Amino acid sequence: MLPPVVCDWYLFAMQPYLVSEFRRQSDARRAPAYQHLRRSLQHAIENGELTAGQALPGERELGKLLDLSRVTVRKAIAGLVADGLLVQRQGAGTFVAERIVKSFSRLTSFTDDLRARGLDPRSTFLERSLGEVTPEEAMALNLSPGAGVIRYYRLRTADGVALALERTVVPASVIAHPDFVENSLYEAFAKLGIQPARALQRLRAIAFDAEQARLMNLPEGAPGLFIERRTFLDDGRVVEFTRSFYRGDAYDFVAELQSEPTP
Ligand code: 16G
């Protein structure tokens, strides 16, 4: 008699991938086994072997498949849950996150966040210009009146779905020509050897106005998240002043909080 089918077909389909990826990770670097598994699962998500909403094999099956203890499997999964790539549902198991879970305390880019989920992030430039700093931008970027700035207004999509609108201002002393950013701002920074070190962010709820809703293909008044970010280099220079309007139904923002030490 055939054994009962306990897994969906894709779990079988992804097993050879996971086994060979786990071997590859283990051969490539010396690290604890849970880190190899964590990377292997992350790569499975990035490469679309596991997609949003799919269930992971149970801890026992994963352990058996890769010859790992349940403690090791649990540790790897806990790391991916903390990264927002996996979610655990009481009694139901572990799933690839459907909403984009974004850490409020990690300095990542739109491109980083979406690539980590196996999606294809793109920018459509609605505006791209060189101009003179406004008083408000000068305050945000610590620039003197008259300084040059590059302004971008981008529609951000992932696999063709609109997820955000972003208005970014960068000092012209950092990026000299508007065309230098092709798709990702942070990739352009990296090409210039610029490493964002920290950022200040504020977030509030908004409703998309008629024009934004049209661009995002949403009904007017759809809920959104407004996030303002000022990004600094190690030497204190501000390299970015961005106002992002993220889709409220697609993102969860998470932050790890610590209690104040008692004096
Ligand atoms: C994120 C940032 C935004 C930054 C952009 C760069 C938030 C809330 N905002 O959307 O400030 O400009 O990433 O992404 O995280 P890029 O490198 O893909 O252009």
Q: Is the pLDDT of residue 261 over 90?
A: no
Q: For the ranges 39-48, 145-154, 191-200, which has the lowest average pLDDT?
A: 39-48
CA atoms of 13 and 48, how far apart (whole Å): 12
The mean pLDDT of 50-63, rounded to a whole number, is 90
Structure tokens belonging to residue 124: 């459509």
How many angstroms is it from 122 CA to the middle of ligand 1? Answer: 12
- In the CATH scheme, what is the code of domain 100-254? 3.40.1410.10
Domain topology for 4-96: Arc Repressor Mutant, subunit A (1.10.10)
Task: Give phi and psi for 56, each to the nearest 5.
Answer: -90, 155
Structure tokens belonging to residue 27: 């051969």
**CATH 1.10.10.10 domain extents, the chain:** 4-96
CB 196 within 8 A of CB 239: yes
CA atoms of 107 and 140, how far apart (whole Å): 18
Task: Please list every protein residue whose CB sits less than 6 Å from any atom of ligand 1.
Answer: 109-111, 166, 168, 184-187, 227, 229, 240, 242, 244
Neighbours of 234 (CB within 10 A): 9
Residue nearest to atom 16 of ligand 1 (CA): 184
pTM of the model: 0.82
Closest CA to 72 of 40, 28, 97, 43: 40
| 256 vs 174, higher pLDDT | 174
